[in-house]
Each structure stands twice: as C-alpha cells, then as structure tokens.
C-alpha cells in the first residue's frame, strides 16, 4: 500500500492518502474541509479512484472534508457506529475491513479520546487518529472520553501490535510525522515504559487543557460530514 | 535505509533522519537550531550513531543545528565546497558519497537556488533541498541563485532519475510531505510537462518574493554551522 501524508498547518492535522498501486483504488483518512481543493487535485494528479473516506473519529478541532470529497469522487464515508452519524455511508465497528485492490484496511475500535475512535490497520502501519500520538496521546476530557478506555486502547490493543508497526497519528504538535509501536511502548510520555493506570490517570487529569477553539462548530459540522450547505 | 521526516513549524523546514537498521549508523539532513533538543532526544531514543550532518545548502531562512548536534554526537558536517565553509568537516562535491553501514548516500550538485545546493541520493529517494519542492522549486534571486542553473539541475539532473524515486524536499508551504520524480516531471508548476527555459524564467523573474525574514542572521549563522557562541 502506498501512503502519502498531508498536513493542515492551521489545525496541525495529518490527512493520509492510501492507495493500492496495482488498481489505484484509494482511501483518504481524516481530510480537512479547508484542504479539499488541494487534496482533490492531488488525488486527480495521482490518478486515484477513491473508494473510502475514513474518519478516525468525530473531530472537535476541525471540520472534515469527507462530504465535499465524496461529491467529487463517489467515495464512501466511514465513521464509527457510536457516532450515530446520519451522513456517513458506513457505520463501522471492530473487525470490519475495507479492500483497496487486494489489500485490506482493518478497523480496530480504540476509544478513549472519544467513544468513536477507530485505528485503521494495514500491513505494517496503524493510523491511530487521536488515540496514539508520537510520544503522547489524545485528551480524554470531553466527547465521552475516558481514561480507562484510553489506557485499555493503548496498552491492550495498540501495544500488542508488532513492534515494527509504523504509527501514523492524526495530529502532531512538535513536528514528528511517524513512530513505531515499539518506540511508543518504550518512550510514550503518558503510557510508555509500563506506566500504571494510576500514573497515567494522574497525568491525564492534570492536563487542564482549554477547549479546542473550533469545538462549537467542529462537532456539528462533522455530524454533517462537512457538507455545511446541505 | 530508514527515513524519518521532522518538521519545524516556524520555518516550514523538513529535517530528515536516515539510518541503516543493521548498524544504526545515521545521518541528519538539514537540522534546525531551535529543534536541537527534540532531534538529539529522538536520535538517542532511536539508538542512532550519527556519522554525518548533511546540509543541502547554506540556508537563508533558518540557522542549522548541525554544529550543536556535532558536539553531542561526533557527526561530521558536510556542506558543498562552493560555500567555502570553515566550520564544516567535509566540503563535498558531485560524485562524493558517504556510507551508513553498507548503504550509500551520494552527492549530486544541483545549484540554482544557491551555488551550494546538494541533492543527497539514496536508493529510491532523493533529498532535494531547496532545488525541487513538491510541485514547486526554490527561489533563484539571491545567494548566487540562477535560473539557468536551476532549470539545468531540475530538468537535466533530477528529472533523469528513475520516475519512482521519492522526492523529499527541505520545505513545503502547502502541507505536502513528499512526491516522486515522475509526478514532478508531469505536474511541477515551474518546470513540469516539458516547460521551456523561457517560460520557466518568466515565472521565476515574476515572483517578486520578499527577502526571508531571517536572511541577515541565517547566512552568517550557517557559515558558523549554528555554533553561535563560538
């Protein structure tokens, strides 16, 4: 599977294009509304046939570009079933999978940041959304986030993947672009090196982060799949 | 060769770590002074033995972190010989190469943005500095830049590499992280699709870009390899 990482500078969001080189069947993970022109031009130049628009969760910090891209590509929007999304084409859950040519993208439910988090797995790489960041993890203090769920998703699900699995997060705030499961097991600041749930929970409860600036418009916008004019 | 891309948000600069998995011998391409702590911690966590600190050119928009990283790793600083750098360990030119384990990094002189530009080649990937950007190229209007040299470097040198060669630029301003030679031959806005030198030159002469904000401190700082206190 070919992977291309794209960055939205204003919201520190990573969008990913995945495609099967043989058939050019493609998926877009976590597009950003303001980048739809860039992304659709890139899709066209690469000659890709977008089959799936995969969302790792209902975002609170930006509005997805999935709806507008669907109109131009006929790709199907995939969101976790807990979202109750009425604009998505597929409400996915653990164990579901999607094919690009002969290659498979598998769904792992990894809640904790919200209750809608999906990690998309391909051979050798995990697209971990706001669950696992490089040396960090997503916040757990709104949108049905939960320290218990996050700790379980990180330590019992993601950290049981092969250690050389590449980690591609939905955001980074320090300039990292990727990591591996092995590195995160060892060096993740929140749960690495065998940190206990109690220590993890103390860190998370002490973060005192301000609400995302775009929270009020992002969640409703994402429940419309970014089709704000419809 | 393993490749890891790092981003400096303030100057839109990509830094690269390259390493040979078998021996952990490593190189850093285009470090940024303000990111030395991040990068040296990452190097340490990955267990890398830095042998080379490779500069693609004498930068005008940021100060390199090569000098400070050299003090902590014993890596040798490599700059093109046209720079006349007195702080570099190796003044390189076309045809030179550097080994990490059994793997080789080759030097291609690709002037045009400055007269000191190097593209570093490994198998399957080119680190093109400010010569080739994704769909774009570096400016040619100072530091002995030249439209003639840039056009020659792009069309006669880089575009003769295999089409599936990955392109990793020193900067991006739209959120792209990589490309391929084949894509750039076709879609590069400055020289793609067989654009003539005359048309290229008209584009470059009409850019009217302001000088980089950090020009006055960057060039002298880089001629000290970022060791500003020495």
Q: What is the pLDDT of residues B193-206, one digit of tens each?
A: 999 999 999 999 99
Contact state of B45 with A187 under an 8 Å Cβ cutoff? yes
Pairing, β A179-180 against β B2-8: unpaired
Domain assignment present for residue B228? The answer is: no
**Banded pLDDT at B230 (limits 50, 70, 90):** confident
Say if the Cβ atoms of B178 and A5 lie within 8 Å.
Answer: yes
Q: What is the pLDDT of residue A173?
A: 96
Using an 8 Å CB-CB cutoff, list chain A residues near B37. none
What is the side-by-side strand order in the sheet with A118-122? A97-100, A103-109, A118-122, A125-129, A166-169, A179-180
Neighbours of B76 (CB within 10 A): 17
B7, B178, B187: residue with CB nearest A175: B7
In chain B, residues with a C-beta closer than 8 Å to the C-beta of A38 are 174-175
In angstroms, what separates the C-alpha of B95 from chain A's closest C-alpha?
30
Average pLDDT score over residue span B150-178: 98
Cβ–Cβ below 8 Å for A178 and B4: yes
Determine the distance in angstroms separating the CA of B85 from the nearest CA of chain A, rounded to an integer: 29
Task: Please indicate, yes or no, if residue B220 is contained in any of the structural domains.
Answer: no
Asked if residue B139 is part of any domain, the answer here is yes
Phi, psi dihedral angles at B121 (to 5 degrees): -110, 130
pLDDT by residue (tens digit) across A70-88?
999 999 999 999 999 999 9
What is the rounded CA–CA span in Å between residue B143 and residue B146? 9
Residue B214 has pLDDT above 90, yes or no: no
Task: Check B7 against A45: CB less than 8 A apart.
Answer: no
- Quick check: A178 and B46 CB within 8 A? no
pLDDT confidence tier of residue B213, bands split at 50, 70 and 90? confident
pLDDT in tens, A183-223: 999 999 999 999 999 999 999 999 999 998 888 999 999 99
Test B175 with A7 for CB contact under 8 angstroms.
yes
Domain-located, residue B213: no
Residue B13's alpha-carbon distances to A111, B79, B121, in angstroms, are 34, 17, 19
CB contacts, 8 Å: A9 with chain B: 9, 175
Taking CA–CA distances from A38, the nearest residue in chain B reads: B174
Query: Which residues in chain B have Cβ-Cβ distances shorter than 8 Å to A45?
Result: 183, 186-187
What phi and psi values does residue A206 have, to the nearest 5 degrees? -95, 5
A227 lies in a domain?
no
3-state secondary structure chain B: CEEEEEEECCCCEEEEEEECCCCCEEEEECCCHHHHHHHHHHHHHCCCEEEEEECCCCCCCCCCCHHHHHHHHCCEEEEEHHHCCCCCCEEECCCCEEEECCEEEEEEECCCCCCCCEEEEECCEEEEECCEECCEECCCCCCCCCHHHHHHHHHHHHHHCCCCCEEEECECCCCECCEEHHHHHHHCCCCCCCCCHHHHHHHHHCCCCCCCCCHHHHHHHHCCCCCCCC
Task: Indicate the pLDDT class of residue A101, thresholds 50, 70 and 90.
Answer: very high
List chain A residues with CB under 8 Å of B2. none
- Cα nearest neighbour of B186 on chain A: A45
Q: Tell me, what's the pLDDT at B30?
A: 98
Does the distance separating the beta carbons of A7 and B177 come in below 8 Å? yes
Which residues 21-80 of B are in CB contact (within 8 Å) with A? Answer: 35, 38, 42, 45-46
The answer for A21, left when phi > 0, alpha when psi is -120 to 50, beta otherwise, is: alpha
Average pLDDT over residues B123-152: 97
Query: How close B81 gets to chain A, by Cα (Å)?
Result: 30
| CA-only gyration radius of chain A, Å | 16
pLDDT score of A128: 98
Number of domains in chain B: 1
Q: Which contiguous run of DSSP H or E holds residue A225?
A: none
Q: In angstroms, rounded to a whole number, what is the distance separating the alpha carbons of residues A81 and A30?
A: 16
Q: Phi and psi for B139 in degrees, rounded to 5?
A: -70, 160
Evaluate whether residue A153 is within a structural domain. yes
| Contact: B5, A186; criterion CB under 8 Å | no
Q: Is the pTM of this model over 0.90?
A: yes
Residues A111-137 have pLDDT tens digits of 999 999 999 999 999 999 999 999 999
Residue B19: which CATH number? 3.60.15.10
Residues 159-218 in B contacting A (C-alpha not used; CB under 8 Å):
172, 174-178, 183, 186-187
Q: Does residue B67 lie in a domain region?
A: yes
**Min Cα separation B82/chain A (Å):** 31
Q: Is B216 domain-assigned?
A: no
Q: Which chain A residues are Cβ-neighbours of B46 within 8 angstroms?
A: 183
Of all residues in chain A, what percent carry a pLDDT higher than 90?
95
Q: Which domain holds residue B178?
A: 2-207
Residue B229 burial (10 A CB sphere; 0-12, 13-18, 19+): exposed
User: A91 by DSSP, 3-state: which?
Assistant: strand
Q: Which residue of A has its CA nearest to B43?
A: A183
């Amino acid at each position: 599977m070919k992977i291309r990482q794209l960055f939205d500078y204003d919201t520190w969001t990573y969008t990913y294009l995945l495609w099967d080189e043989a058939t050019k069947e493609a998926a877009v993970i976590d597009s950003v509304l303001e980048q739809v022109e860039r992304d659709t031009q890139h899709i066209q130049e690469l000659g890709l046939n977008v089959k799936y628009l995969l969302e790792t969760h209902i975002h609170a910090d930006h509005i997805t570009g999935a709806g507008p891209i669907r109109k131009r590509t006929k790709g199907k929007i995939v969101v976790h079933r807990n979202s109750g999304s009425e604009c998505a084409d597929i409400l996915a859950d653990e164990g579901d999978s999607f094919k690009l040519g002969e290659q498979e993208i598998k769904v792992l439910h990894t809640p904790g940041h919200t209750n809608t988090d999906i990690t998309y797995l391909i051979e050798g790489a995990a697209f971990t959304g706001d669950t696992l960041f490089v040396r960090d993890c997503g916040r757990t203090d709104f949108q049905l986030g939960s320290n218990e769920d996050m700790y379980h998703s990180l330590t019992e699900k993601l950290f049981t993947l092969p250690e050389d699995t590449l980690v591609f997060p939905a955001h980074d705030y320090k300039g990292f672009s990727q990591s591996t499961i092995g590195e995160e097991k060892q060096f993740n600041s929140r749960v690495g090196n065998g940190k206990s749930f109690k220590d993890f929970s103390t860190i998370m409860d002490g973060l005192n982060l301000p609400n995302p600036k775009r929270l009020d418009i992002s969640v409703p916008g994402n429940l419309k799949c970014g089709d704000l004019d419809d």
